[in-house]
Amino acid sequence: MRNNNLLYLCRMKTLKSILWLICMLSILSASAQETTKTRVFRGFSGGMLLHTGYIWGEQTASPYQISGVPLGIGGSIRIHLWNHFRIGGEGYVTTLHSNISSEKEHLQKGSYVRFGCGGILADYIQQWDKIWLYVGGTIGGGAKRSLFIEQGNQNDWEAEMTTYFNKTPYFYFAPYIGADFCITEKVHLSIKLDYSLLLHQKTLVNPTGLRLYLGFMFCH
């Protein structure tokens, strides 16, 4: 019970920090809008990114505790407004396979936990000659799919004796920071770090964790 209370307090502090970040972004973007004399629309950018990280947590009503290093791919697109404010959308698929799970000794090959999600984003960006730094957040929804195979062989057509499958929809918020390194005016190498908080029925649902993104963005 004490550990649960400590975990709850930590999550509340994290949410308070996120709300403070949103307020600061709003103030900065409003200030940028008031002071700039340039046109509103400043172009757009988009591209694909690979990502990895570390996720952990309890699977509700499941005999397995999940932790490990996932792999995923997705992309984003942003519309640049004024000099420092961008809005857009993104979507990703993240998969943690059984062969890199903490429970791999009990699960057959083919087991996985997979997150498919997408949402709208907004961020504040500061541009220099060859480096763009930005901070923002994404809010959206998706689904978590879990497939656990205790016995069997994925290479045959025999019925598996013990298999668990679950699909759980969720809403999430992911604050992030990142940097673009301008290879050319229109091609950027992008690096981003986010922390995904999965929100479902007013409670935090795990797995959740830190993810690192790497890919190319194309600007116009």
Average pLDDT (137-163) is 81
pTM: 0.74
pLDDT on residue 77: 92
pLDDT on residue 128: 86
Alpha carbon distance 39, 46 (integer Å): 21
> What is the residue range of 57's domain?
2-219
Query: Over 90: is that where the pLDDT of 139 sits?
Result: yes
Average per-residue pLDDT for the chain? 77
pLDDT on residue 202: 56
Q: With helix as H, strand as E and coil as C, how does the chain read?
A: CHHHHHHHHHHHHHHHHHHHHHHHHHHHHHHHHHHCCCCCEEEEEEEEEEEEEEEEEECCCCCCEEEECCEEEEEEEEEEECCCEEEEEEEEEEEEEHHHECCCCCCCCCCEEEEEEEEEEEEEEEECCCEEEEEEEEEEEEEEEEEEECCCCCCCCCCCCCEEEEEEEEEEEEEEEEEEEECCCCEEEEEEEEEEEEEECCEECCCEEEEEEEEEEEEC
26-55 pLDDT tens trace: 555 555 444 444 456 578 899 999 999 877
CATH of residue 129: 2.40.160.20
Query: Over 80: is that where the pLDDT of 172 sits?
Result: yes
pLDDT on residue 13: 60
C-beta neighbour count of 1 within 10 angstroms: 5
69-109 pLDDT tens trace: 888 999 999 999 888 899 999 999 988 886 544 444 567 77
Structural domains in the chain (count): 1
User: In which band, very low, low, confident or very high, does the pLDDT at 121 lie, cut at 50, 70 and 90?
Assistant: very high
pLDDT on residue 111: 81
Of 37 and 123, the structure prediction assigns the larger pLDDT to: 123
pLDDT on residue 3: 46
Question: Considering the chain, what percentage of its residues have pLDDT values greater than 90?
Answer: 30
pLDDT on residue 26: 54
